Amino acid sequence: MTTPDQDRYWMQRALELARRGIAVTSPNPAVGCVILDHDGQLAGEGWHEYDLVDHAEVVALKAAGCPILSAFSGERVGSQTVSPLLGGTAYVTLEPCNHTGRTPPCTEALIATGVSRVVAATIDPNPAVAGRGTERLRRAGIEVTLDVCQAEARRLNEGFACWTQHKRPLVTLKVAMTLDGRIAPPAGQHNQREPYWITSEAARAAVQPLRWQADAALTGVDTVLADDPMLTDRSGLRRRRPLLRVVLDSALRMPLGSKIVTTAHKDVVIFTVSKDHARIAELQSRGVRVEVLPAETGRVPLPKVLDKLGEEGILSLLTETGTRLNTALLAGGLVDRVQLFVSPQIMGSDAVPAFRGMAHAIRMAEVEVERYGNDLGLCSLLKDPWPAESK
């Protein structure tokens, strides 16, 4: 007999495996799987990587040396073959799929092995497939237990949950600011095109994992003109595709000598409403993609930017913007998660504010707090991307 503590133990292991898929699974979810034999001993484990195709369940079953898997793949198997996993248990961080995509259904692989129990951390957030995997397993006589370590599993795949329902990336608004909500000194007190660090080195280092976990990072041309950032993932960690660097530039003021342009290698896209064909050609000749969108009040329409990124399979977007875009994103209800890095200093009202002219207050609930030396990191989910019916 298994106990809730045993279920949590093995699901924690499955979550550890799933985290190995961060930055290498998108646009698929990060999933981990642990397989136990009928004696409760570890038989196999695995996680999903997009380029290796196999889902986590199949990777774990192959690691367990299960011959029934051959039947699942269409190969002939001797009639006397007995699965070593007969009566075993599978722990998986996301409900096994019951549809054919790039791979056959994982439910059929699990059924073919003869496992008697499947423990899933959460239902699939995709409304088109949610619940179908568990239903198929139960019809086959397999016991299914749900919602073990659910919160951790859902946090891991917030971007996938958002994208499957809205075809837009999950937006995390990142802001480094002072105690009085300032992001830069007053004009004239620091040199343009040279970064002014609000937070400590420890807090700045914490930004790199955020970029690593994101499919894309977004900034505005005003930030480029002020700070000349690179906006690259310098974590040194493995990722399947380069971090897409996105710049909003209504009038195509992007300097050709900026760090973003000079380091572009099919990983920079500028969204604009300008139809300056000569300027567009100059940027394109330097490896920068330019997307022209219909103007709304002379500005790049933010919802259409998110729609376009969603069409390209971007599940998660980290914003590193200035006052106007910070405010527009929040006021437009386009932010899903807020990540603030707060430095214990006060600049005063003449300094550049993080936000300006908010029509109403944005309240952060269930705030996670981290310390980075004397700086604080405050993180909160503003909009839960998981469908209410799956809770």
- Write the single-letter amino acid at 226: A
Q: Distance between CA 4 and CA 198 in Å, rounded? A: 46
Catalytic residue among 57, 95, 108, 320: 57
Query: How far is residue 76's CA from residue 68's CA, in Å, rounded to a whole number?
Result: 10
CB neighbour list of residue 213: distance below 8 Å, 6 or more residues apart: 22, 23, 316
Report the distance separating Cα 284 and Cα 251, nearest Å: 16
What the block records as the tokens of 36 is 């136990």
CB 133 within 8 A of CB 97: yes
Tokens of 334: 């386009």
Contact 217, 321 (CB under 8 A): no
- The answer, yes or no, to whether the previous bond of 353 is cis (omega within 30 of 0) is no
Q: Which DSSP state fits 23?
A: T
Which residue is it, tokens 């093995």? 10
What is the C-alpha separation between 341 and 202, in angstroms, rounded?
11
Query: How many CB atoms sit inside 10 A of residue 277's CB?
Result: 10
Cβ distance 240 to 51 under 8 Å?
yes
326 neighbors 173 (Cβ within 8 angstroms)? yes
Does the active-site annotation cover 135? no
Helices then strands, each counted (H, E), the chain: 14, 16
Rounded to the nearest 5°, which phi and psi values hold at 188? 95, -10
What residues have CB less than 8 Å from 151, skipping those under 6 apart?
Answer: none
- Provide the CB-side half-sphere exposure for 99 (13 A, CA): 9
The answer to whether 82 and 113 have CB atoms below 8 angstroms apart is no
Residues designated as active site:
57
